[in-house]
Structure 1
Amino acid sequence: MELAPIVLFVYNRPWHTKQTLEALMRNDYADQSTLFIYCDGAKENASEELLSRVKEVRTIIREKNWCKEVVIIEQKDNLGLADSIINGVTEVVNKYGKIIVLEDDIVTSVNFINYMNTALQRYENEFIVKQISAYAFDLECKKKNSAYFIPLTTTWGWATWKRVWVEINFNSQDYLELKSNNKLRKQFNLDDSYNYSSMLITQMESKRISSWGIRFWWNVFKNKGLVLHPDYSLVQNIGFDNSGVHCDDSDFGTTNNWNSNYIITNYPSKINIEQKKFKQLKLYLKSNLEKHKTKIDLKISFLIYLKKISEKLKSIFFSFN
């Protein structure tokens, strides 16, 4: 099997980076794989603490031979996550024709590299297949150790080919269709299970988010692409602890279907949507989105309560003076 290069994007999270690398090193085929590590630079006027964390990350990635070969690319300036991934993936996939991608908070199972390469090889010439996902949503699993196709991309441990990446227009100016076409917007939102259209519009019209992933999904959606997913997740996101630029302390999207020794042995021979899984996914997204909104509402209510208490205490304090 010809192994795809693995690309890891890191920045300023030493502990997360080390967990990601240690898990990757335990993978089957890690000792036969090439790993590219892209290190983003610190932001302008960064604090001493942040500069120290950036430096520590760059020390950690040199601690061991995490794979057969490790190639380190250090940026002097801060590109941000979206530009780092777009530029790095483009550079590597254009050279090698296929790629496996990780970020610095994704812990992998021991079967991750094997699963990715097996699927990349198996579906390389199936042009409707746009991505291989190692992440699995918490859906009902009756047929164990299996993978299936649904039309939704993911960003937590994934792989693709050059043939897919060159299709993507990251300018995505045709997003304006979503504003005027209600039917298209509903389809892009998976029957209004999740507001992907709002994410894309916000991405294109403001600086509040910087997401390459939503633009990837938009391009795959327009091309009627499918994504291979495992029945149980081969990755776990450990970044929901307020340590990352794009992750808070929410657990929305994390999975309980996680086992570091889990393997995928059955791959679909037919390239079509697993309709039962797709239906489950839409229900899952809708349910979890409602829970997530409730959590946010409770947090806001609690902050408002604390503010009122603080104002009350201030008034009592000043009344005694």
Structure 2
Amino acid sequence: MQNLAPIALFVYNRPQHTERTIKFLQENDLAGKSNLFIFSDGAKSKSEEENVAKVRALINQVDGFKSVKVFERRENAGLANSVIEGVTKLIKDYNQVIVLEDDLITSPHTLSYFNDALNRYRDEEKVMHIGAYMYPLKAEDLPQSFFYRAATSWGWATWGRAWKNFEPNIDTLIKQFDKKKKSAFSIENKMNFWKQMLEFKKGKNNSWAIRWYASIFLKGGLTLNPSLSLVNNIGHDGTGVHSGINDIYNVVINPKPITEFPGVIEEDKKAYQVIKRFLSTRKGNMVLRVKRFVREKLAQYFSK
């Protein structure tokens, strides 16, 4: 295997999530051969200082990797700025990177999947992003991995040649979309990707991920994905910056390694249809939607 990609782990103020994320990462086959870089954002307010300090005490004790380097910010940069800056830094030094956040538990084979794919598609200009998460799809006969247009942000990897296309300016991105592109971008209007772009412009979200997907999409890029997820997000308990309490996207992690990769560099038509079907029915019928809405509102109320 070629040189292993560095791992960027972004943490903030959730010591328990961070601890679990690191524990699962340490159990990866390639952990002991990989360099880990942990980026710890500064506290946004006085009330968060204690948890940030707890996280920092934890990350400064981490072992089980080839090397561990911790970057602690004094001020709060926010997740988007932290990710963009950290990814850019490691890309500059290593020309490739694996990116994780503090609420993701991984399979023991996640790092192997990333590194295999990074090596396999290193010189394929069209392949711009490797995702480790996949929705809980109900399709038995999808290949182990496939190409798709949208980029998932729960565990991913990329190369310098792709990251140089990242366009952080929302206006520059938005003006390149016409009606047809908006529809294709949002999976024929089955997913709220375009709405996320407009909300970013209005200051209602601060997502690096939607701008990264838009940058990939506008370049005609593709993302590699497993048909069975190699990560699960444990941040949907109301503690996350951007996550509601939401079980739609909960998955059982694939226990097996991914050994098969697509040879043809084009979007998998079948996988696209399966994902589109999942997205169009993911919220269930009206009764389920109302129940979920009430449950989320109650949880928010009681967590105040």
TM-score (norm 2): 0.91
Tell me what 1:208 maps to. 204
The CA distance in 2 between the partners of 1:20 and 1:292, in whole Å, is 35
Q: What do residues 273-292 of structure 1 show as CA deviations (whole Å, max 9, x unaligned)? A: 11011011111111114569
Q: Secondary structure at the match of 2:280?
A: helix
* Change beyond 3 A, Cα 1:297–1:267: same
1:182 to 159, 162, 179: 179
Distance in 2, matches of 1:25 and 1:208, equals 35
Tell me, what secondary structure is at the counterpart of 1:240?
Answer: coil
Deviation at 1:249, TM superposition (A): 1.1
Deviation at 1:185, TM superposition (A): 1.5
Q: Which residue of 1 aligns with 2:89?
A: 91
Partner of 1:312: none
Q: Secondary structure at the match of 1:127?
A: coil
The residue that corresponds to 1:244 in the other structure is: 240
Matches of 2:218 and 2:127, distance apart in 1: 13
Distance apart, 1:269 and its partner CA: 1.4
Which residue identity is paired with 2:38?
A: I
Aligned partner of 1:255: which letter?
A: V
What is the aligned partner in structure 1 of residue 302 from structure 2?
none
Which residue pairs with 1:271 in the alignment?
265
**Structure 2: 5+ residue runs without aligned partners?**
299-304
Letter in 2 for 1:188: F
Q: Which amino acid aligns with 2:155?
A: G
1: CA distance, partners of 2:98 / 2:229: 16
Q: In 1, Cα distance between the equivalents of 2:20 and 2:208?
A: 24
Please give the secondary structure, in 2, of the residue aligned with 1:253.
coil
| Residue 10 (structure 1) aligns with | 11
Q: 1:130, 1:238 → 2: CA distance?
A: 26
User: How far has the Cα of 1:98 moved from its partner?
Assistant: 0.3
Q: How has the CA–CA distance of structure 1 residues 303 and 227 changed in structure 2, closer, same or farther, with 3 Å as cutoff?
A: closer
Mapping 1:1-321, distance limit 5 Å:
1=1, 2-44=3-45, 46-47=46-47, 50-139=48-137, 140-142=139-141, 146-177=144-175, 181-204=178-201, 206-256=202-252, 258-259=253-254, 261-289=255-283, 295=289, 299=293
Amino acid corresponding to residue 43 of structure 1 in structure 2: K
Contact 1:107–1:237 (Cα < 8 Å) also in 2: yes
Give the SS at the match of 1:63: coil
8 Å CA contact 1:5–1:35 kept in 2: the answer is yes
Give the residue type in structure 2 aligned to 1:232.
L
Report the Cα distance in structure 1 between the residues aligned to 2:251 and 2:96, rounded to whole angstroms: 27
Mapped to 1, the partners of 2:119 and 2:85 lie a distance apart of: 24
Q: 1:252 to 1:210 in 2, by over 3 A?
A: farther
Question: Secondary structure in 1 aligned to 2:210?
Answer: helix
Question: In structure 2, what is the Cα distance between the partners aligned to 1:291 and 1:73?
Answer: 45
Partners of 1:120 and 1:210 in 2: CA distance: 28
- Higher-Rg structure is 1
Distance 2:102 2:296 in 1: 32
1:235-289 C-alpha deviation (Å, 9 max, x unpaired): 0110100111111211232224x23x32101111111111011011111111114
Q: 1:308 corresponds to which residue?
A: none
Report the residue type matching 1:137 in the other structure: Y
Residue 64 of structure 1: CA displacement? Answer: 3.1
AA paired with 1:192? N
1:209 to 1:292, Cα distance in 2 relative to 1, 3 A: farther
Pairwise CA RMSD of aligned residues? 2.2
How many pairs align?
A: 297
Q: Which residue identity does 2:22 align to in structure 1?
A: L
One-letter code of the match for 1:29? Answer: L
**TM-score, scaled to structure 1:** 0.87
State the AA in 2 paired with 1:12.
N
Per the TM alignment, residue 129 of structure 1 is displaced from its structure 2 partner at its CA by 0.2
Residues 302 and 130 (structure 1), Cα distance of their counterparts in 2 relative to 1, 3 Å cut? closer
Question: Tell me, what secondary structure is at the counterpart of 2:13?
Answer: coil
Do the aligned residues in 2 keep the contact of 1:252 with 1:292 (CA within 8 Å)?
no
- Percent identity (aligned): 36
